[in-house]
Amino acid sequence: MRRGPIPWRTSEVRELSWATPRVRLIRLHVPGWPGHLAGQHVDLRLTAEDGYQAERSYSIASPAEKPGIELAVERLPDGEVSSFLADELRAGDTLELRGPVGGYFTWQVEQGGPLGLVAGGSGVVPLMAMARHRLARASTVPAHLLCSWRTLEDVIYREELERLAARGDGLVVTHTLTRATSTPPPGFLGRRIDRTMLMEALPGPEQRPLLYVCGPTPMVESVASLLVSIGHAAERVKTERFGATGGVR
C-alpha cells in the first residue's frame, strides 16, 4: 500500500521545561521530519549501554506549521521511560524516534467544525496541537475546549490557553478541577465533567460538531457515553485513551 517502513530518526533535544511539577515539555529537532497532522504521535525508543531497549508512544503537542516537535511527558509513578524523560534528559541529548503515527485521531482545518475538544489531564496534548494548528492557519472554525484537571497545579498550557481564548477568534476554553479542596479559582469549574457541563461547554448536537476526547480511560469512557446520550452521533466522537480500566494510572 505504501513505500517502506516509517524510519527511526535521531532527534536532538533542544529545549526542556516544566509545565507542571509532573509534566515536562520536550522540544526536539528532528532532521528529515516529514511533517505531521495535529493529533498524531511518535514512538520513542531508548537504548541502554547493553542494548536493552524500551519503546513508548507520545502525542505531539506542536502543530506541523512550526519546525521541530514538542512532546509533553507526564512522569508516572512507576514509569520506566517517563521518569527517564522527566528526570534524566538534558538539552543536547539525542533521542531515537519514528513517526508520525496514527491517522484517525487527527484534525486539519480543511475538515471544518465546529470542534468540541475534551481533555483529561495530559490528554490535552493532541488537542493542543489542534488548537495551535487552528491558530497557525488563522482558522476561525468555532472550537470549544473543555479541560479537566485534578488541581490547579496540574494545569498544562494555562497561559497559552488564556492567550488563545483572548483572541476572540472563535476558540472558547473551559477548565474544571476535579480535586479542588476549596472554592475553585475564578474562571474554573470545580467538579468532574458531567452531562450539564458537556451541554454548556461544547457545541450542541444540532451543530453536528466533530468531537475529540482524550484522557485516562475512565474519564474517556464516561465522557464518550455522555456525549452519545445527549444526542451526538457516535461516529463523530473520536477517542484516545491512556491507562487501564480503573484505579491508579
Partner 1 sequence: MATRGFHGRRSSIDPSRLPPGQYLTSDFPVLSAGPTPQTPLDEWTFTIQDTDGSNLGKWSWKEFTALRSSDLTTDIHCVTKWSKFDTRWKGISFDDLMEEAGIDPPAEYVMAFSDGGYTTNLAVEDLTEGQGLVVWEYDGAQIEPEHGGPARLLVPHLYFWKSAKWVRGLSFMDQNEPGFWETNGYHLRGDPWKEERYDGD
| Other beta carbons less than 10 A from residue 48's beta carbon | 8
Residues 6+ apart with CB under 8 A from 160: none
Q: Cell numbers 488537542 correspond to what residue?
A: 127
21 C-beta neighbours (distance < 10 Å), count: 9
Select from 5, 21, 32, 77 the one that contacts partner 1 (CB under 8 A). 5
Grid coordinates given for 120: 483529561
Torsion of CA 99, 76, 122, 33, to 10 degrees: -20
Determine, following the binding rule CB under 8 A, whether residue 138 of this chain makes contact with partner 1.
no
Rg (CA), the chain: 18
Burial of 139 (0-12, 13-18, 19+ CB in 10 A): buried
Report if residue 202 touches partner 1, rule: CB under 8 A.
no
| CB nearer to partner 1: pick between 102 and 203 | 102
> For residues 89-108, which are near partner 1 according to CB under 8 A?
89-90, 93-96, 101-105
Q: Is 111 in the site for partner 1 (CB under 8 A)?
A: no
Place of cell 497561559: 159
- Rounded least distance, CB 159 to partner 1, Å: 31
Q: Is 227 in the site for partner 1 (CB under 8 A)?
A: yes
* Sites for partner 1 among residues 34-53 (CB under 8 A): 43, 45-49, 52-53
Encoded one letter per residue, x for contact with partner 1 by CB under 8 A and - for no contact, window 142-181 reads: ----------------------------------------
Note the residues at the interface with partner 1 (CB under 8 A). Answer: 1-6, 10, 43, 45-49, 52-57, 80, 84, 88-90, 93-96, 101-105, 217, 221, 224-225, 227-228, 234-235, 237-239, 241-245, 247
